[in-house]
Amino acid sequence: MAGLSAGRVLSDFFDHVTVVDRDAYPEGALERPGVPQSRHVHALLARGRQELDGLFPGFSEAMRAGGAHELDFPSAFATLRPTGWAPRADNRLPLFFASRTQIETTVRGLFRKLPNVTLLERTAVTGLAATRQGHTKATGVHITPLDGGVSTTLETDLIVDASGRASKAPEWFRELGLTPPEETIVDSFSGYSSRWFKAPDPSRLPRDWWWKGVWIDVKLPENTFACVLIPVEQGRWLVTIAGVAKHYPPNDEAGFMATLPQLRSPIIDKMVQFAEPISPVYSYRAMANRFRHYERWQERLDGFLALGDSACAFNPVYGQGMTTGAVSATILRDCLKQSGPTSPELSQQFFRAQAKFQQIPWGLATGADFRFPGTEGQPSRISSLMGPYMETLFQAGDEDPVVRIQVSRVLNMLKLPTALFAPHIVARVAWWAAKHKFSGKGAGGYSAPAMPPVLASVR
Ligand SMILES: Cc1cc2nc3c(=O)[nH]c(=O)nc-3n(C[C@H](O)[C@H](O)[C@H](O)COP(=O)(O)OP(=O)(O)OC[C@H]3O[C@@H](n4cnc5c(N)ncnc54)[C@H](O)[C@@H]3O)c2cc1C
């Protein structure tokens, strides 16, 4: 996803762009081995949709045509937060709910239409070629065709590493005699298990089930499993159970199905009783937040950039990765405009600008992760500020639409977290807190009804 967004930007500044991928791209929205995370729920934030629409005109139309559901989260999802069921409300922020493969296939379809791009499939990048005249300058990538053939070097003016969370760039740097950039890791030891279902015809569901999807949050210390059910294209439901603090969800079918009725609400279990399982259970555990600090890298490697998960990967539960990759591509466009495609300053300028942006989703993700016992790593300034304040904001937002919409815009990366500290928001939250000081409503002591209110009208 990050590579396609970056490639789109580069196609405006370079004669030719080559995307090298070790996978063959399937015909249609199907899985491929290089993106194992596509079997799990992938939320596209509003900012991500906005950026992809800007980079790839026609993206939203193509998503709709591919069967993506376009839903406003708080009016379409039954949401069980630590304090109880969130009231049904309208944020006026339609989001796409679709499989990761559909999102990626849609973007790649639009990318392929560019006149000056090549997709080099079944080809692995195995290292970097570089020259040393003063600064080290990357001049190409070593590539190996995976279906036979000779390894070669693809000479280029600019290399962008978008090879994801498992990027081998640190090894490639060592091979060039360069020390890799420092990394910060914040790990809440979270894990996912997911299963796909054929959704029933809506007429078979009880008429008062107004929700199209469900989100059940953890409630610590007793409930360490969250769970989400989202509708995706082709009449399917995707159910992902997320565990925190080393409470990994079961990765076998019997264990997965036995966990659903034990969640804080049986709602998802009741729903899937109407559905037909169409996949095994997939699990994923490499979910730590990892920030590779290129912005303060002591080495200098001109002609080399890194973006997307290879530069900064987040605990995916907050749904930021695809959006962050797309935003990084637009940052790259700004840097290319400013300093030109062959400037020796480009890499450092880009890394600084990208990191300035990345520290925001980083602060939000790691701040939320530090809620969980046993999270390892160093809290950032934003994460220390945001963590405790967020829960109060959610609760205040249940009653105050102004607060709720502001929170949603920040979480969707349409506004900076500072918007949550605007005087009118702080005043509303303080008013809410004063009102509820003695009401007993709070994460402790409050027990939500098993199912959401059925007569939930939209506010
Ligand atoms: C379980 C899970 C759930 C997630 N949920 C969400 C979500 O809800 N919302 C969201 O926005 N993000 C989510 N993410 C993150 C999201 O998947 C990534 O942030 C997003 O795909 C951007 O990653 P990327 O493009 O940098 O890398 P990837 O999408 O991982 O792509 C890397 C590409 O590089 C190729 N590649 C790797 N190494 C080589 C090599 N040596 N040679 C050639 N090709 C190579 C791979 O084949 C692949 O095509 C989730 C991630 C995980 C793990």
pLDDT higher than threshold 90 for residue 29: no
> Where is the domain boundary, 353, 376, 399?
376
Q: Flag whether 214 is in a domain.
A: yes
DSSP annotation of 416: -
pLDDT higher than threshold 60 for residue 146: yes
- The answer to whether the CB of 34 is under 6 A from ligand 1 is yes
Task: Please answer whether residues 73 and 49 qualify as being in contact, where contact means their C-beta atoms are separated by less than 8 angstroms.
Answer: no
Q: What number of other Cβ atoms are within 10 A of residue 10's Cβ?
A: 25
DSSP annotation of 328: H
> Which stretches of 204-345 are DSSP H helices?
253-259, 267-272, 321-339
pLDDT higher than threshold 90 for residue 394: no
Best residue among 1, 20, 159, 244 to mutate for probing ligand 1's pocket (most ligand atoms within 8 Å of CB) is: 1
Query: What is the predicted pLDDT for the residue at 441?
Result: 52
- As a whole-number percent, the residues of the chain with pLDDT over 90 amount to 81
Note whether 362 and 306 are same-domain residues: yes
pLDDT higher than threshold 60 for residue 197: yes
Query: What is the predicted pLDDT for the residue at 295?
Result: 97
With a CB cutoff of 8 Å and minimum separation 6, the contacts of 390 are: 367, 368, 407
Distance between CA atoms of residues 205 and 194, nearest Å: 22
Note whether 166 and 197 are same-domain residues: no
What are 201-225's pLDDT values in tens digits? 999 999 999 999 999 999 988 899 9
Note whether 179 and 199 are same-domain residues: no
Please give the C-alpha separations between residue 389 and each of 225, 402, 403, 417, 433, in angstroms, as whole numbers.
Answer: 22, 16, 12, 11, 11
Over residues 389-401, the mean pLDDT reads: 87
Q: What number of other Cβ atoms are within 10 A of residue 57's Cβ?
A: 11
Query: What is the predicted pLDDT for the residue at 134?
Result: 83
- The answer to whether the CB of 169 is under 6 A from ligand 1 is no
Distance between CA atoms of residues 341 and 354, nearest Å: 17
- The answer to whether the CB of 22 is under 6 A from ligand 1 is yes
How sure is the predictor about 301, in pLDDT bands with cuts at 50, 70 and 90? Answer: very high
Burial (CB < 10 A; 0-12, 13-18, 19+), residue 208, is exposed
What are 403-435's pLDDT values in tens digits? 999 999 999 999 998 999 999 999 999 999 888
Query: What is the predicted pLDDT for the residue at 445?
Result: 45
Two structure tokens written together for 91: 């944020």
Q: Flag whether 330 is in a domain.
A: yes
Two structure tokens written together for 102: 């559909």
Q: Considering only the C-alpha atoms of the chain, give the largest distance between any 2 of them, rounded to a whole number of Å.
A: 73
Note whether 353 and 295 are same-domain residues: yes
Note whether 160 and 261 are same-domain residues: no
Over residues 194-198, the mean pLDDT reads: 98
Two structure tokens written together for 231: 């509708």
What residues make up the domain containing 268? 191-284
Q: Flag whether 80 is in a domain.
A: no
Distance between CA atoms of residues 303 and 26, nearest Å: 31
